[in-house]
Structure 1
Amino acid sequence: MSSLGSVEPFVVAPTPREKVAVEYLQSASRVLTKQQLQDTVASSHLLQTEFMEIPMNFVDPKEIDIPSHGTKNRYKTILPNPISRVCLKPKNPDDALSTYINANYVRGYGGQEKAFIATQGPMINTVNDFWLMVWQEDGPVVVMITKLKEKNEV
């Protein structure tokens, strides 16, 4: 029993492959000198090779125990990692969906926890959640690293 008096949730044990991927993602770092970074960026082949070594973050939708969370995802197959997911502070504590945004905290240079937040571009039905997250997390800067157009949309 938890301190709130409810039953503890049933946790599914990760597979050995998932454990290795999580350990890699949590511990991987490679500090580069300025020259090493310039050399790596100059060779798209080296950059592509390093990128392909990063294990995919496959998340089963069942791992996110929030009914109808799919309505707030831009893509069905790109989900936030439950371990580092940003949770919105709900206006209505009884509405679990109001806590959901497809966003994760990202460790910064030198291991600083929650240095950045990575999220999908907001959709018409999630733009309020996006700005609520920026406000809640006291985000001083918003950087967009995608194209301005998705397919034929602006």
Structure 2
Amino acid sequence: MWSGHRDDMDELRTYELRDPAALIREVADTVTLVEDSAWLALIHHPSTHQTLLRVDPLPVPALLDDDDDISEHLRAATEAFGVPWANNGKGPDHKAVTIVVRPGFAVFGPNEGVWCRGWRRANHFQDVYTGELVLVTEHGWVDFMTDACGHEPRMVA
């Protein structure tokens, strides 16, 4: 099991999380990861300082139907962050990470595909990287982008 912590020697792109395990622990300390909830976390400098700025609830359940289009909700949530454009020539300084809390194995399936499709269609036009998806279940958590995973934190019963 890979916890996701990366050594300082690893070359990270600006949109990659430095430590997915630390992030999900910090999110779990901030909000209660209850069944069928979804959250959007805003991280400043994800590949270096990885500072969690806020965690907002999403107005949709974690469990979705195949034909659900959540792109409007994701766009509105990202716009609500109000992140100013960096104009630094290096890309955004912020990243939005979606945390989906549902029962079942900590394995990505059709439900998480709906979330990915929603982000693909969101067109939020904000200076924020998106696409990172962390799944939390009663068995633990897994990060879609890095395959980092762990037994804690887990879904609260």
Normalising by structure 2, we get a TM-score of 0.24
Kindly indicate which of the two structures has a greater share of residues assigned to strand: 2
Normalising by structure 1, we get a TM-score of 0.24
Instruction: Return the index of the structure with the highest Cα Rg.
Output: 1
Bigger RCO (CA 8 Å, 6+ sep): 2
